[in-house]
Structures are given as structure tokens and as C-alpha cells.
Amino acid sequence: MTAKRALTALLVALVFLTIAMLAACHPEPRKTDAELGLTPQQAQGRRVYDARCAECHYAYSTHDLRGPSLNGLFKRPFMKNGIPANDERVTDIILMGRAKMPAFRQKLTQQQLDDLMAYLHTL
């Protein structure tokens, strides 16, 4: 009976440890649009980002995911790939893709692109 209790306690501890580790694996803090002070356009852009970009890019973490972090994208003169960090170049990459990044030309409306760019400027 003691061995059975010890095994049960070990399994319970492992479950809690696993849950804690999984919770810690997501370095991206999730704040509300209001907490971030987003305008309606930026909030719409955040929804586009969540649907199209968040799978590969972190917004608020400096860690890379599948693609580079977008934290501070427009606060630097150049992106990690050496391309100037300006509206024209970022738009080109979004629309035409680059390396492993797919093109979104046929997937985003002009309004979605404008909203996304407004959001990216808040990062």
C-alpha cells in the first residue's frame, strides 16, 4: 500500500510539473487591446496578426519562434535579415513572402494590410 501511495504521489507531482512547464513555455504575455492602448485600427490589425502571423512570430517577446520576433520591429533601422525596417520593405515581405515566409498577397485585403501595419508599429 505504501508503494502504491508513493507512486500516486509521484504521478500527481509529475502532472503538476508538466502543467507548470507548459505554462512557462509561452513567453508571450497576453494583454487586452485596452491595456496596450490600441486604437480600433490597431486592434483590428492585432486580430489579423493573431490569425496570420502569431503562428510564426512573437509580438511582445524578443525570442524567435519559427520566424524572427517582431518586438520593436519599427524601433530598429534594420530587420534581422538586414533589410531596412520601414513600411515599404515590411509590406513587400508580407505581400510577397521571403525565405520560409509565405506570401499573403492573395490572403489579405488592403484594409487588413493597413490594419496589420498599424498594429506592427505598436510593437
Give dist(CA 110, CA 75) in Å, integer.
24
Given this model, what pLDDT does residue 18 score?
A: 46
- DSSP three-state, residue 70: coil
For residue 7, pLDDT over 60 is answered with no
CATH code assigned to 39-120: 1.10.760.10
Give the burial class of 107: count Cβ atoms within 10 A of its Cβ; 0-12 exposed, 13-18 middle, 19 or more buried: middle
* pTM (global) more than 0.85: no
Q: What digits encode the pLDDT tens for the residues 34-87? A: 999 999 999 999 999 999 999 999 999 899 999 999 999 999 999 988 999 999
- Domain extents in the chain: 39-120
DSSP string, 22-44: HHHT-------HHHHT--HHHHH
